[in-house]
Amino acid sequence: MFDVHEMEINFGPQHPSTHGVLRVLLSVDGERIINAKPVIGYLHRGTEKLFEHMAYPQCVPHTDRMDYVASATNNLGFVEAVEKLMGVTAQIPKRAQLMRVILSELQRISSHLLWLATHAIDIGAMTPFFYCFREREQILDLFENYCGARLTLNCMRIGGMPDDLPPGWLDDLEEFTGKFDAAVDEYESLLTNNRIWKRRTVGIGVISPEEAIEWGVTGPPLRGSGVNWDLRKALPYECYSELDFEVPLGINGDTYDRYLCRMAEMRQSNRILKQCIPMINATPAGDIKAKISRVVRPPEGEVYHSIESPKGELGYYIIADGKSTNAYRCHVRPPSFVNLQALPAMAKGHLVADLVALIGTIDIVLGEVDR
Amino acid sequence: MTQALLMRYLLWPLVKFLGAFIVVQAIVAAMNWVERRLLGLIQARLGPNRVGWHGLLQIVADPIKFLLKEDIVPSSSEKVAYFLGPMLPLIPTFMVYCLIPFGPPPMFIAARVNVALLLVLALTSTGVYGIILGGWASNNKYSLMGGLRSAAQMVSYEVPFGLSIVGVLMICGSLDLVRIVDYQANNAWNLFPQIVAFFIFFVSMNAENNRTPFDLPEAESELVAGYHTEYSAMKFAFFMLAEYSAMIVNSCLVTLLFLGGWTMAIDGKGLTTQQLVSMGVLGGIIGLAIFLTKMMFFMFVYIWFRATFPRFRFDQLMDLGWKWMIPLALGNIVVTGVFVLIGQERLMYWIGLATLGAIGFHIFRKPVPAVKAKTAHEVAHAS
């Protein structure tokens, strides 16, 4: 009866809320999304290929540039994979392990803070952005005091850590952990029980547990659907098995549950940090490196090692030929890339305004998607 | 004789209009600074504080920047409509300044019209044409969506906006803004008998002005910049000017209709219009100050809202407008009608006061605990 035209919209790559250079090809009927097709690759840098031409230690700074808002966890995944390939995982001193855990958990908090800030501003609440950045700034200051960098940390080495913690660093950390729970309360007082926030997030982009597993979704989007899968618990690395923390799970698998999960995860990360401080004080200072040869030349073989990055399962697959000091092949399984697959299914039938909330809730970083 | 007439009907109103225009435009420019500083205060940051004392010269720096920027016209735009877009919303908002009494008459009103309220409503609602036209003429899909959203939003909220005023009119029995204010000075603020209407008016006024949480037409995170995506330099500034002018007009309206305008009196006691007029120039200044204070309070609430709320989604906005506000406004008219019919307007004041008290009690019942929100593992089972 009526001649209905779908409108094609290029959502991105230059759009304020696609979190980088994601481009989504939208077919909309009015404002209702008929089809959403993510187009990626605008930030492709050939990182994996680069890894084949660099000695293993040289690769570490390049891992920073993948998930550039969570570089410590990227470092961790890579150095652990190489250590596993070399078979020296057990030799890493306790102090180095704890330092890695502290840095990763700080990184998790800072990544989640960035997510909350942008997610909230995408849905139109602008104040949480500044509150989140206030705390994130303190974390970045901690990073700077440790390794001199704030964003691309390059803070881990194969076999241990580059430097011991500077004097007074743990006191600063303790001060931060003491204040952080109250800060999370503050964010939640702005959003959690806010009616408009709930209307914008409850029931939006529902993924059932089965679908989530089928899509290969990991991290908070998976746990928001109620699947209890956190690599820190499921396949513990470093000294996570000695630490006491819970894995927050959602029920409905909607944007609101994923929001709750991440908020609770920040509290749990803070709990881990609090436990780490007395533990690291008990270890001898300076004992931060395993005794491995300077030239990293793993034996012939292959390894897949994954860790729980803030965004999900971050895996490194490395093939070594046993002769050279660089990898024969290195493949990265970035969580953002895999989680992004679920976007079209999640977005179908929602409004354009919801697409923004969905991109936010998946928490993608394009550096990682495109590598 | 002719000279006196000319003086009375042309020159004098023109001077008064210019006065109002300049004052309001100054407030608009100042609001830009006030808003950014206030937002900064709320959001734990500073806001503009570089140019001049506490950044006050920002008020001057912004227009200079807007004037000097390149005025980009998209090659595929509909030229005439594209030029008209930013101008159209300005004209009605400027015209409205003639009709609004900023202080005790006859000094602070350019043109006293006996149907002023109706005229104000008619003029302000035409502001949307510019937005629609601008959004469409830009030939950009985001702009178009912004324009369409704006059209739907304005049409939907114009209805409760208008309906909420009916109750006030029934009580005051006049469309003349001066008489509405006088009625309030001789009785009490319309806020009390018309508490429901006040809230409806206030919410729809937010929606009319495209302010958070109803800023869907420009929705930065969704539509880039909505209807003014393709506008730059002074054309963009005109849209902003129109928005802030409309905000001031609406703040003036809510002050006049519900908060007793320039008077500060209950039951004819206190600073009524007669009292202020008898005090001469000083009375005029006091009246103006009272009026501006009340108006600025609402401007502050606009900014406060912007800092606090997320944005509604389009369908939710329509839900709120059509399913809640319009029935509520209609119900308010019926209830007010019944009270007026049985001659018990006074009873409404007490009911309104009780409602306000109840709201206050609900808010301040206990020191509001920092919402110890349910963490996710309370929502679900933990590992």
Among candidates B310, B371, B373 on the partner chain, residue whose Cβ is nearest the Cβ of A196: B310
Q: What percent of chain A has pLDDT over 70?
A: 99
Q: Does B310 touch chain A (CB under 8 A)?
A: yes
CA distance B287 to chain A (A): 36
Determine whether B372 is exposed, middle or buried from the number of CB atoms within 10 Å of its CB (0-12, 13-18, 19+).
Answer: exposed
Residue B219: what pLDDT?
67
**Which helix (H) or strand (E) is A247 found in, with range?**
none
The beta-carbon neighbor of B371 closest among A9, A192, A250 is A192
Contact yes or no for B172/B190 (Cβ under 8 A):
yes
Cβ–Cβ contact B78 with A under 8 A: no
The two three-digit tokens of residue B77, written as one number: 């735009």
Q: How far is B212 from chain A (nearest CA, A)?
A: 8
Instruction: State pLDDT tens for residues B262-289.
Output: 888 887 777 777 777 788 788 888 888 8
What is the separation of C-alpha A197 from the centre of its chain, rounded to a whole number of angstroms? 24
Q: Give the count of alpha carbons within 13 A of B138, CB side only.
A: 27
In the predicted structure, residue A6 carries a pLDDT above the cut 80: no
B300 has a chain A CB within 8 A of its CB? no
A258 vs A363: CA distance, rounded Å: 10
Task: Give the pLDDT confidence of A174-233 residue by residue, as tens digits.
Answer: 999 988 888 888 888 888 888 888 888 888 888 888 888 888 899 888 888 888 888 888
* Span of B2-6, B71-75, B235-239 with lowest mean pLDDT: B2-6
B367 and A CB contact within 8 Å? no
Instruction: State the smallest CA–CA distance between residue B275 and chain A in angstroms.
Output: 45
Chain B residues with CB under 8 Å of A347 CB are none
Name residues whose C-beta falls within 8 Å of residue A136's C-beta, 6 or more positions apart in sequence.
A110, A113, A114, A117
A124–B142 C-beta distance less than 8 A:
no
Task: Establish if B377 touches chain A: CB-CB under 8 angstroms.
Answer: yes
Q: What is the pLDDT of residue B371?
A: 46
**What is the Cα B237 distance to its own chain's centre?**
19
| Chain A: residue whose CA lies nearest to B212 | A124
Residue A248, domain extent: 43-155+162-370
Is B260 touching A (CB cutoff 8 A)?
A: no
Give the span between the Cα atoms of A365 and A368, in whole angstroms.
6
Give φ, ψ of A188 to 5 degrees. -70, -35
Q: What is the pLDDT of residues A91-125, one digit of tens each?
A: 888 888 899 999 999 999 999 999 998 888 888 88
For residue B42, list chain A residues with Cβ-Cβ distance below 8 A.
Answer: 127
Within a domain: residue A1?
Answer: no
Nearest-CA residue of chain A relative to B377? A248
Count the neighbouring beta carbons within 10 Å of the beta carbon of residue B270: 12
Contact B311 A200 (CB under 8 A): yes
- pLDDT above 70 (res B239): yes
Q: Could B213 and A124 be called an inter-chain contact, meaning their C-beta atoms sit closer than 8 Å?
A: yes
Residue B372 has pLDDT above 70, yes or no: no
Task: Write down the pLDDT at residue A3.
Answer: 64
Q: What is the pLDDT of residue B227?
A: 78
Residue A214 lies in a domain: yes
Q: What's the rounded Cα separation, in Å, for the pair B130 and B132? A: 6
Q: How far is A65 from chain B (nearest CA, A)?
A: 25
Q: Please, are residues B376 and A264 in contact by the beta-carbon 8 Å criterion?
A: yes
Task: Take residue B98 and report the two structure tokens written for it.
Answer: 């003639």
The DSSP 8-state label assigned to residue A361 in this structure reads H
A233: CATH: 1.10.645.10
Tens of pLDDT, residues A296-330:
888 888 899 999 999 989 999 999 888 888 888 88
Asked whether the beta carbons of A333 and A306 are under 8 A apart, the reply is: yes
Look at B372 and A185 and tell me if their CB atoms are within 8 Å. Answer: yes
Question: Which residue in A126, A229, A240, A271 has the most chain B C-beta atoms within 10 A of its own C-beta, making it the best mutation to test that interface?
Answer: A126
Contact A249 B215 (CB under 8 A): no
Search chain A and give the residue with CA nearest B309. A125
> Would you call B323 an interface residue with chain A, using a CB distance cutoff of 8 Å?
no
Q: If you average pLDDT over every residue of chain B, what do you get?
A: 81
Determine the Cα–Cα distance for residues A25 and A8; give it in Å rounded to an integer.
Answer: 7
Question: Average pLDDT for residues B351-380, to the nearest whole number?
Answer: 67
Residue A125 to residue B382, Cβ atoms within 8 A:
no
Q: pLDDT digits over A237-289, tens only? A: 888 888 888 888 888 888 888 888 888 888 889 989 988 899 888 888 888 88
- Looking at every residue in chain A, the average pLDDT score rounds to 87
Query: B383 — contact with chain A (CB < 8 Å)?
Result: yes
Mean pLDDT of B357-362: 85
**Closest in A199, A257, A351 to B376, CB measured:** A257
Task: Tell if the CB–CB gap between B376 and A125 is shorter than 8 Å.
Answer: no
Q: Quote the number of domains for chain A.
A: 1
Residue of B nearest to A250 (CA): B380
H or E stretch covering A266: helix A255-281
pLDDT at residue A109 in the model = 92
The average pLDDT across B16-44 equals 83
Q: Chain A contacts of B228, Cβ < 8 Å?
A: none
Verify whether the Cβ–Cβ distance A131 to B44 is below 8 Å.
yes
pLDDT for residue A141 is more than 70: yes
List Cβ neighbours of B18 (8 Å cut-off, separation of 6 or more).
Answer: none
In a domain, A29, yes or no: no
Q: Report residue A65's pLDDT band, with 50, 70 and 90 as the boundaries.
A: confident
In whole angstroms, what is the distance from residue A347 CA to residue A206 CA?
9
**Domain residue limits, chain B:** 70-363
Q: Which alpha helices (DSSP H) does B271-367 contain, by range? A: 273-278, 281-308, 314-319, 326-341, 345-364
Q: Which residues contact B76 (CB under 8 A, 6 or more apart)?
A: B139
ipTM of the predicted assembly exceeds 0.90: no
Q: Which residue has the tokens 């506000």?
A: B325
